Chain A
Amino acid sequence: MKPKRPKIKSIPYEEFKDNETFEKLVEELNQNGVNVIVRKLDDLLDWGRSNSLWPLTFATSCCGIEFMAVCAARYDIARFGFEVTRNSPRQADVILVNGTITHKMAPVLRRLYDQMADPKYVVAIGGCAIAGGPFTKSYHVVQGVDKIIPVDVYVPGCPPRPESFLYGMMQLQRKVKAENFFGTTNRKEKSPLSLKEIRKQEDEIVKNQEQA
């Protein structure tokens, strides 16, 4: 059987801008065919998960204020089930990286990401989170969060308008709806830094300190 097209309530499938990438992703996920029973279970799970993605309250700069505006009455993120912002990474499903990530912040962000429970998603919001934005030449800015954590959806803008914010969140919903949790292993965005590497780096520093 063929996988069902994911249905997002507010936007018809054709109106999404990047359907090719999405179809490629679905194809990749279902290379070995789709199991009739398991997929039905997956659909149920995905439906629930995609409509109650809990974001982590994480904002470093300007985009964070827009995130607050999206949460407030006019744009009302609660229409799509994202309103339960969590202050602890242990309870969050998605981390919205709002704003510039600097060298000092990078290990903190990585730690927050590692603390989140699977399945977890990352949305890079705004130019700074995507590639350093207007500060890309700076000595203290990470050139995009995808250098340290795997990113699922990129939302461009400086800061993005609330509409594009919501559009990005719906792209994420689509992605969640295509995922398999039973039977097959899931394709995940590759982490740019493996945990092993980080541990190794940390060990080295501890060693150096001990020697000194």
Chain B
Amino acid sequence: MEETIQNKPVKPQAEAAAAPAKPAVVPEAVPAENLVVSTLVEPEKLHGEMLRLKNEEGMDFLELITGEDWGEEGLGCVYNLWSTTTGKRAYIKAVAKDRENPFLPTVSDLWDIANIYEREVFDFYGIRFLGHPDMRRVFLREDWVGYPMRKDDKPEEQNDLRMNNFVYADKTTQYDCDADGQVHETEHIVFSPEDYVVNIGPQHPSTHGVLHFRVALEGERIKKIDPILGYIHRGIEKLNESYTYPQTLALTDRMDYLGAMQSRHALCMAIEKAAGIEVSERVQYVRTIMDELQRIDSHILFFSCLCQDMGATTAFLYGFRDRERVLDIFEETCGGRLILNYNMIGGLAHDIHPDFQKHVKAFIPYMRKNIKEYYDIFINNVIARNRLIGVGVLSKEDVISGGCTGPTGRASGWSNDVRKHAPYATYDKVEFSEVLRTEGDSYARLLNRMDEIEQSLHIIEQLVDNIPEGTYQTKTKPIIKLPEGTYYSAVEGSRGEFGVFVESKGDKSPYRMHYRSTGLPLVAIMDKACRDELIADMMAINGTLDYVVPDIDR
């Protein structure tokens, strides 16, 4: 369906005809801007090398671990590292040659976030991580047969729809390797019989989707949280491997539906840069404005849901009143309210609506006026303040180690805005400030998002009058193929860094496409954020972390 849109000749519209699209082919000698050059490290040396990178080169942020199946070469992982001090990036590749019993050393003792990333790799590829304290499946059922992301696995044939209710194991396994190369199993206990465990979800109105927490309590204080994911795991990454590049676009909107524009922007950008397709200035401007509108939309919804979760229904209605105005602008141009399908490879699906600028300009003062009401009705309210200030505190070390990007990380003083550190689209041309706070509590996370709405309005204000003339769609080849290689592009999504990792073998569909979910680190940090807090505050904490579950599960 997406492909037919691409194939259609550009409409004989005045603007499109005025600037005929250049055949955008970059000579092959020039490597793509987002090409990933990874260093291959032997599995035995992996842990030492990672430790060296972390301590000596300041690579303190583990961005992503991508599991891969390289066929005969074996299974393995690609690690994306980023230094918060120097801004340098490093890509490490490790291969486990044995397909039957693949083992790799864990790095979960170096970065907290590696814990859940490695469990994800184990779930999809069956790679066991030596020394990982909790080697359980994370998305699929514990009785799932096979590892679905392996190229030779046939998940449909081995797994019928099972309707029995499932009991989650209280035990987990750790694999260790001794000097002789023998692998031992050690059992660990997740919850002991003495623990008082409360199930929250999967059907719970405040988990923002279908998410399951097992919470161990000590009186009213939270002792431990074990998140169980995968209730909305839709296998998007596997589907992508059988889709052509334009087809893969359709699924990104449905992952993080409150960051539909941004996710799709990231994917388009990854493909465009890899294939050497140049997009016009006009497209860059429109994409930036749309991304910021989407951010406003998402943050308003965040505010509304947080109020709803904490029992302030009136404030919820205030938020939705303003959100409808943003949706009106989207609807006019894109035709959709929530799933927008606007960005395309090489440009946009269609040009902006003639009234777009007028309505956006009317929206800016409207929103500035209404955001004051949010403070009056909820944010400055004494109950809200008491329940949010000093609750769920995360330190800067916690968020970096836990990979919590976005407003959550910035509330703890970690400057991580992709728009500032690696500007894309037109972010280098506009003036805006990165909102930073150091308290790291729920209230700081809330205020950060409110301030970001104002920054977004400020960005839109600078761009909306200056949208340059030009084509809205660069002509692409009828079949888009990426040159062989690995590519990574990231944008600043509504709730953190959203990255797209594409590995291409030169075909019309990706060999592997992996997304850096913005929400997965936020769920993984729940245990730390809620430790020793009251159970009643748990919903407020997870409300301010603001994740979207389909984006976590993919």
Contact = CB atoms under 8 A, between A and B. Distances in A.
Interface in B148-164: 148, 155-156, 159, 161-164
> Interface size class for chain A?
35 or more
Contacts of A161: 337
Interface in A84-124: 87, 89, 99-100, 102-108, 110-112
B317 interface: yes
A68 B205 CA distance: 11
B305 to A, nearest CB: 8
B550 A107 contact: no
B165 A107 contact: yes
Interface string B312-354: 0000110011011001000000000111000000000000000
B521 interface: no
Contacts of A105: 202, 210, 231-232
Contact of A104 (B156, B230, B251, B258): B230
Most buried by B among A62, A105, A107, A148: A62
Most buried by A among B202, B232, B321: B232
A201 interface: yes
Interface in B494-553: 549-550
B324 A74 contact: yes
Interface in A179-206: 193, 198, 201-202, 205
Contact of B156 (A89, A102, A139): A139
B433 interface: no
Interface stretch (A2-10, A15-23, A36-44, A52-60): A52-60
Interface string A63-79: 01110110011100000
B257 A61 contact: yes
Given A110-B163, A139-B238, A62 B338 contact: yes
B162 A59 contact: no
Most buried by B among A61, A142, A147: A61
A172 interface: no
B48 to A, nearest CB: 37
A135 B235 contact: yes
B550 A106 contact: no
Nearest to A85: B205
A201 B210 CA distance: 25
Nearest to B328: A74
Contacts, number: 136
B321 A74 contact: yes
A138 interface: yes
A201 B242 CA distance: 33
Contacts of A99: 232, 550
A198 B166 CA distance: 13
A147 B161 contact: yes
B233 interface: yes
A140 B235 contact: yes
Nearest to A76: B317
Nearest to A89: B203
Contacts of B141: 103-104
B550 A61 contact: yes
Interface residues of B, number: 48
A108 B204 CA distance: 12
A25 interface: no
Given A59-B209, A60-B209, A201 B164 contact: yes
Contact of A193 (B139, B148, B163, B205): B163
Contact of A138 (B230, B235, B320, B550): B235
B254 A104 contact: no
Interface string B217-244: 0000000000000111111101100100
Given A61-B232, A104-B231, A87 B238 contact: no
B197 interface: no
Contacts of B321: 72-74
Given A72-B317, A159-B338, A104 B233 contact: yes
B205 A102 contact: no
B234 A138 contact: yes
A147 to B, nearest CB: 7
A137 interface: yes
B153 to A, nearest CB: 9
B254 A61 contact: yes
A205 B338 contact: no
A91 to B, nearest CB: 13
Interface string A150-177: 0000000011010000000000000000
A108 B202 contact: yes
B306 interface: no
A135 B156 CA distance: 14
A198 B162 CA distance: 9
B337 A139 contact: no
Contacts of A33: none
A61 B156 CA distance: 23
Contacts of B463: none
B316 A72 contact: yes
A102 B339 contact: no
Interface of B: 139-141, 148, 155-156, 159, 161-166, 202-205, 209-210, 230-236, 238-239, 242, 250-251, 254, 257-258, 301, 304, 316-317, 320-321, 323-324, 327, 337-339, 549-550
28 contacts: A60-B231, A60-B549, A60-B550, A61-B209, A62-B254, A62-B338, A62-B339, A65-B301, A73-B320, A87-B204, A87-B205, A103-B161, A104-B230, A104-B233, A106-B161, A108-B165, A108-B210, A111-B165, A135-B235, A135-B236, A137-B239, A139-B159, A140-B148, A140-B155, A142-B161, A201-B162, A202-B164, A202-B165
6 pairs of A and B residues whose beta carbons are closest in the complex: A72-B320, A139-B155, A138-B235, A62-B257, A57-B205, A61-B550
Given A105-B232, A106-B162, A140-B234, 12 more contacts: A65-B338, A69-B323, A72-B316, A87-B205, A102-B230, A102-B234, A103-B161, A104-B231, A105-B202, A105-B231, A138-B236, A139-B156
